[in-house]
Chains A and B, each alone.
Chain A
Amino acid sequence: MPKMNLSHFEAAILFALFSSIVLGVITKRTDAERLRYGLRCFAYFVAALIGLGWLMHLGHG
C-alpha cells in the first residue's frame, strides 16, 4: 500500500467531499434534493474549514 502525504487542507477537503456524498445520499427523498443537500453540506464544511483556519491563524498572532 503506497504511503500518502497530504496537507491539512487536502485531507480536510477529501474528508468533506466523501462525508457530504454520504450525507446527501442518505438524507433526502429525491435525487435533486440529495444533490442540493450534498453540495450544501460540502459548502458548509469548506466554509467551516476556512473560517476555523483563519481563526487559528489570527489566534496564533
Chain B
Amino acid sequence: MATDQNKASAPPVRSWAPVIGLSWLIPGGGHFLLKRTGRGTLVLVSVLSMFLLGLMMRGAMFQPQTGDILTTIIYVGGFLGDLASGLLYLLTTWLGYSQPDMAGHVHDYGTKFLVAAGLLNILAMEDAYEIAIGKKD
C-alpha cells in the first residue's frame, strides 16, 4: 500500500534523468538546462578550478582496488569520486593522464582536489535533481 503510494507520487524519470545525466557529464550543466545559469556558472567554475588545480598539482587518479575493508573504501570510494567529475575525468583519462601516487604534500593535495571536485559535482547533481522535481525553486 505504502509502496504503491510512493510509486504514484514518484516524479517521472523523464523530468530528472536528463538533468542528472547532464549534471554529471558537465558540472553545472543540469542547472544550465533548468535555466539557473548563475548557479550553474558558479558550480562549473568551482568544480573545473578544483579539477584543474588537482591536475596541475599532479594528483593521482584512484583505480578501484579491493582487499581489506579500508583499502576497498579508499580506492573504490576515491575512484567513484574521480568518476563523478564526468567529462573532465573521462577526457583526462582518455588523453592518457596517469600520475603515480607519489610522496609529497603537493601531490597529495592534488589527489584530494581531484576527488573533491567530483564530490562537489555530486552535491550539484543532487541540487539540480531537487530543482527538476520541483522540491526546490
Contacts and interface: CB of A to CB of B under 8 A. Distances in A.
Interface of A is mostly: helix
B55 A1 contact: yes
Interface string B56-81: 11100000000000000000000000
Contacts of B57: 3-6, 11
Contacts of A21: 42, 45-46
A8 B136 CA distance: 37
B112 A25 contact: no
Interface string A1-35: 11111101001101100110111011001000000
A45 to B, nearest CB: 12
B117 to A, nearest CB: 8
A23 to B, nearest CB: 7
Interface residues of B, number: 26
Contacts of B112: 15
Contact of A19 (B55, B56, B120): B120
Interface string B29-68: 0000000000100110111011001011110000000000
Interface of A: 1-6, 8, 11-12, 14-15, 18-19, 21-23, 25-26, 29
